[in-house]
Amino acid sequence: MVLIGSPAFGISYAVRLKKRKDNLKSIERILMYLESEIRYRHSLIYEAFNNAAAKADKPFNMWLLNLGESLYLYDIPDKDSFYEIWCDSLEMLRYGTCLTNEDIEELAAVGQTLGYLDIEAHKAGLALEIDHFHEKIFEYNQTLTGRMRVSVMAGAVFGILVVIVLV
């Protein structure tokens, strides 16, 4: 049983690493959707979130819909209230995705960028955040295969060691 369970634990961790990469790619796509909504369609911020939700994967679509609805109900939030709404909404992603606390903190920084009422600041800030997430995904992808192999092997070795100790 230990010989089966330990490698399975390593495999589940490897799958979680892969899902994190997929989640980061989803965030990058969402930021691109938001940028195009603001830059080309001249959407209001809550409309941009609702329109991006239509194109986003689960659970990000629900996050964007809830965020858009909260902003719509709040009417015209100032910088500080927008940031509070943004950070509150990130709790949904903390437990529904494979994003790390570091990823959530970086998304909180995106909320600071979007909290300004200046459209040009939104455009420039989103472009910088898209570049940042693109680089983050690239760097993460460079080490992903090796980390997945190590997690599977560590699970298998741990299982073998436990069997040796028990015998």
Q: What is the pLDDT of residue 21?
A: 94
Judge whether residue 156 has pLDDT over 60.
yes
With a CB cutoff of 8 Å and minimum separation 6, the contacts of 114 are: 34, 45, 82, 86, 122, 125, 126
* 18-22, 39-43, 76-80, 137-141: least confidently modelled range: 76-80
For 85-128, how does the pLDDT look when each residue is reduced to its tens digit (9 = 90+)?
Answer: 889 999 989 888 999 999 999 999 888 877 766 778 778 888 88
- The predicted model gives 7-25 an average pLDDT of 88
The domain locations on the chain are 26-146
Q: How far apart are CA 12 and CA 82, in angstroms?
A: 37
Scan for tokens 């909180």, then name that residue.
108
For 32-84, how does the pLDDT look when each residue is reduced to its tens digit (9 = 90+)?
Answer: 999 998 888 888 888 889 999 999 998 999 999 999 888 888 765 555 688 88
> pTM of the full predicted structure?
0.83
Checking phi first, is residue 4 left (phi over 0); if not, alpha (psi -120 to 50) or beta? Answer: alpha
Q: How far apart are CA 158 and CA 3, in angstroms?
A: 9
Locate 20 and state its tokens: 């994190």
85 against 8, higher pLDDT = 85
Checking phi first, is residue 42 left (phi over 0); if not, alpha (psi -120 to 50) or beta? Answer: left
Q: How far apart are CA 37 and CA 16, in angstroms?
A: 31
